[in-house]
C-alpha cells in the first residue's frame, strides 16, 4: 500500500522500541542483549536484503526446496543447542525455526498449485481505500476463522507429537511439563507443531478462504 514514508518510519520505530523494552521488562534479556540483537538485525538486513528476491524465487520454484528448507532449519536447531541446563530460549528458537520452515514450505505449495495470494506486480503500489462495513466484516470473519484453524492445528499437533516423541525416545511422559524440557521431546514437538502452524497459515487457511469466498 502507498502510505507516507514518515508514517511508516514512526510506526516501525515505535514497534521496535516496544519489543526491545518488553524483553527488558520481562527479564528475558539485558540492555546489552537488546543492543546486540538490534545491531545484529541491521547486519542481517544489510547482508540478505540484496538477495531476498533470489532466495524467494528459489523457495518457490526449485523442486527440492522444501527438503532443503526443512533440513536447514533442523540443522540450525540441533547444532545450536548445547545447553547444560534447560532454558526457554531453546524452545523459543525451535519454535521460530519450525514456523519459518512451515511458512516457506506453504509458500512453495501455493506456487506449485497456482494459488495466487498477492496482487499482480503491475497493480502495485495499492492505494488506501475507505473502510466500509463490508470490508470490516470480512476482515473480522477472516481473522476469527484463521485464528480458530491455527489454534486447532496447534492443539492437535501438540497432543500428537509429545507422546510420540516420548515413546520413540523412551522418556516417561507422566509429567508432561518435565518431559517437554528434554531436548529429544522439545525439539520435535516445537518443530513439527509450529511447522504445521506456519504451513496452515500460508496454505490451508488461504485455501479455506478461497473455498468459502473470503479471498
pLDDT score at 130: 79
Residues whose CB falls within 8 Å of the CB of residue 142, separated by 6 or more in sequence, listed in order:
209, 214
Per-domain residue ranges of the chain: 1-49, 52-212
Place of cell 466484516: 137
pLDDT score at 215: 77
Q: What is the CA radius of gyration of the chain?
A: 20
The whole model's pTM is what? 0.82
pLDDT score at 120: 80
pLDDT score at 66: 93
Cβ count within 10 A of residue 210: 13
Dist. CA 95–CA 186, nearest whole Å: 10
Q: Give the three-state DSSP class for 12.
A: helix
pLDDT score at 171: 85
Instruction: Render pLDDT for 60-109 as a digit per residue (tens, 0 to 9).
Output: 999 999 999 999 888 887 776 665 666 677 788 889 999 999 999 999 99
Burial class (CB in 10 A: 0-12, 13-18, 19+), 215: middle
Encode 5-27: b = buried (16+ Cβ within 10 Å), e = exposed: eeeeeeeeeeeeeeebeeeeeee
pLDDT score at 27: 85
Mean pLDDT by 10 residues, the chain (215 residues): 89 94 88 93 92 91 92 81 66 88 93 82 80 88 95 94 88 78 84 95 92 85
| Cα dist from 63 to 68, 86, 185, 204, whole Å | 10, 38, 31, 20
pLDDT score at 122: 82
Amino acid at each position: 500500500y502507498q502510505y507516507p514514508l514518515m508514517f511508516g518510519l514512526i510506526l516501525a520505530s515505535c514497534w521496535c522500541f516496544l519489543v526491545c523494552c518488553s524483553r527488558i521488562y520481562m527479564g528475558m534479556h539485558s540492555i546489552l542483549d537488546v543492543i546486540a540483537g538490534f545491531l545484529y538485525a541491521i547486519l542481517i538486513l544489510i547482508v540478505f536484503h540484496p538477495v531476498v528476491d533470489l532466495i524467494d524465487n528459489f523457495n518457490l520454484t526449485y523442486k527440492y526446496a522444501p527438503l532443503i528448507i526443512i533440513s536447514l532449519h533442523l540443522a540450525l536447531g540441533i547444532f545450536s543447542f548445547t545447553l547444560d541446563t534447560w532454558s526457554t530460549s531453546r524452545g523459543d528458537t525451535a519454535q521460530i525455526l519450525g514456523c519459518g520452515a512451515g511458512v516457506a514450505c506453504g509458500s512453495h505449495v501455493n506456487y506449485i498449485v497456482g494459488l495466487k495470494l498477492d496482487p499482480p506486480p503491475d497493480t502495485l503500489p495499492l492505494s488506501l481505500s475507505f473502510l466500509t462495513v463490508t470490508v470490516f466484516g470480512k476482515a473480522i470473519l477472516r481473522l476469527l476463522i484463521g485464528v480458530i484453524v491455527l489454534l486447532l492445528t496447534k492443539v492437535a499437533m501438540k497432543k500428537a507429537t509429545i507422546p510420540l516423541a516420548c515413546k520413540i525416545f523412551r522418556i516417561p511422559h507422566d509429567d508432561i511439563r518435565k518431559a517437554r524440557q528434554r531436548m529429544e521431546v522439545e525439539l520435535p514437538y516445537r518443530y513439527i507443531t509450529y511447522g504445521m502452524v506456519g504451513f496452515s497459515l500460508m496454505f490451508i487457511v488461504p485455501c479455506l478462504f478461497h473455498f468459502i469466498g473470503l479471498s
